[in-house]
Amino acid sequence: MSMSSQQSTELPIRELLLQKVCDHLKVIYPQLTDCGLAREFVEVMRLDEDCQTPLPHKNLWDETDVVVITYGNTIQSDNQHPLKTLHHFLKTHFTMLINSVHILPFFPYSSDDGFAVIDYRQVDPSLGDWNDILRISTDFHLMADLVINHCSSQHQWFLNFQQDRDPGRDYFFTVHPNEDLSGVVRPRTTPLLRSVQNGDETRCVWCTFGHDQIDLDFRNPRVLQEMVDIIRLYLDMGVRIFRLDAVAFLWKKIGTSCINLEETHEIVRLLRTLIEHADPNAIIITETNIPNRENLSYFGNANEAHLIYNFSLPPLLVHTLVSGDCHHLKNWLMSMPPAQNGTTYFNFIASHDGIGLRPVEGLLSDEEQEALIQTMENFGGRISWRALDDGSAKPYEINIALYDALRGTTAGEDQWQLERFICAHAIMLALEGVPAFYIHSLVGTTNDYARMEEHGHNRAINRRHWQEEELNERLADKDSHHHQVFYRLRELIQLRRDQAAFHPNATQFTLHLGEQIFGFWRQSLDRRQSVFCLNNISDSEQLVLLSSLNLIGIDQWKDLISGQVFEDMMGEITLAPYQTLWITNRW
């Protein structure tokens, strides 16, 4: 049904929403002839009872927003649920510093450290319960995963599928084994299909990530409706930020790459519509570990993700710091479009996963990628692989703790590990977007080889479990690198939070100061504050002429980090190895 703009403005908000949801669903499911399914979706989200009006292009963030990423059981103590311990640790160390926490999947699971979900509607009893989640959400903006592409082979839906029962008998994507699937893009080397019993017959189910993670079939609208019902529950439990895990693989169509299909984008638009009408302050983040141009497409027309993961940043930044050359990082930054209001980037340089290599396809040459891989292996890292359509394998990600990844350069280990590590985070904190710290980076955790061997997969190298008492002792020990990392990063975070020029949507321009100084300029939305961010990404001193920055002579300029004041606009600055300057006209 089409309507004029005059008619649409006269309709009640619920009727406008219903029509919008109906329009989304008809793109996804062209066979629909009416809005009956849309009405069901609206009812599942309880928008027939309470429907709010989101404001378009509204920034739901500012320079005070900083995220910490953690598993629910990363911080542990005796005789207490890990979620309670985590909450205590966060309140003790991060109050008035970090306002948002991403708790990685906290549901019952069978593998992949939470991403093979057995029950979307329960908290893993070994972590705690929904009351623990609600308590955390009262003190921090809570980000949670919607593991939307697949579920565990132990989920009741899949058990029902195997017995040809509802709900579940038609919830999973099945394929004839003779289909040509050579064009399918994979993030793993395991076989794509798994043979299982479905009632009295054997069928092949689709497994993008492995045989314990069975892909759901969104060609069935009931599968999508289940996910909408789960979203409503998460909103009720205090979740404000929804991370759509592996969403790029959602829709399958034989004969295509089965990634980033138009139906997938339309599902993201639908979920955005439903979520923002339930809570206009809720946020969607898409997790799409894919080449940069494809990743950018998930902004849509400011109607898909509010934030997208800046997946190219981690490998490019690590490459820059170990090579001592910012050429590629600078070119990439110049190519990144400014995010329009209502959208921004989610910046990170370490996470529970490895340092992805797909996002630098077309940005780093094969030789440069190989040099990066070799350097990371020299520093104790491991490599995970993905399958290509010719049957060969290609490096997919580097598995390493970030503190170890920055032990040295391509020439080997050196004495600049701590300074290089701090420089990496100073760059992340100053870039356009919302910064996110993996909790292990904040406390300087190193490679955990014992955990990797125990769990049998490379990603465990960067998923250490800390006893809260031991970690607190390390952080209190002024001679430990844990203390030095933690308190230096705290200082940078506190500085960032006070600068209007570091608003996630503030203006950003790349500076051209040679290949050893990575520089960019930020200007506040009201144009009153400028910050020139200069980063020596090399292991030798670098000279910068103040005249090359075009500082306005009538302003006073000061480095926020060191406190140095600059009065001679024709003078020069010497940056020590890996030193960062934030030169501003307002402080």
Q: What is the CA radius of gyration of the chain?
A: 24
Report cis status (omega within 30 of 0) of the bond before 167.
yes
Amino acid letter, 295: N
What phi and psi values does residue 314 have, to the nearest 5 degrees? -60, -55
Give the containing element (helix H, strand E) for 142. strand 141-146
Judge whether 78 counts as a catalytic residue.
Answer: no
Alpha-carbon distance of 77 to 431, in angstroms, equals: 36
Reported residue count of the chain is: 587
- Say how many Å lie between the first and final Cα of the chain, rounded: 55
Instruction: Quote the tokens at residue 477.
Output: 């020990």
Pick left, alpha or beta for residue 241 (phi over 0 → left; psi -120 to 50 → alpha; otherwise beta): beta
Which residues, 6+ apart, have CB-to-CB distance to 454 below 8 Å? 460
Alpha-carbon distance of 130 to 128, in angstroms, equals: 7
DSSP 272-319: HHHHHHH-TT-EEEE---S-HHHHHGGGTTTTS-SEEE-TTHHHHHHH
Query: 481-497 and 417-430 helices cross at what angle (nearest 10)?
Result: 20
Three-state SS at 573: strand
Give the containing element (helix H, strand E) for 76. strand 75-76
Selected catalytic residue, list 145, 245, 404, 539: 245
Question: How remote is the C-alpha of 351 from its chain's centroid?
Answer: 8
Amino acid letter, 96: M
Provide the 8-state DSSP code for 397. Answer: E
Residue 207: name the closest of 237, 238, 241, 246 by CA.
246
Query: Tokens 């979620």, residue?
Result: 83
How, if at all, do strands 565-566 and 557-559 pair? Answer: antiparallel
State the virtual CA torsion across 411, 413, 418, 420 in degrees, nearest 10. Answer: 10
Long-range contacts of 507-510 (CB under 8 A, 24+ apart): 507/338, 508/333, 508/338, 508/431, 508/432, 510/330, 510/333, 510/334
Query: Tokens 């609206």, residue?
Result: 42
Task: Count CA within 13 A, CB hemisphere, residue 391.
Answer: 0
Residue 100: name the closest of 131, 73, 61 by CA.
61
Q: Which residues are catalytic?
A: 245
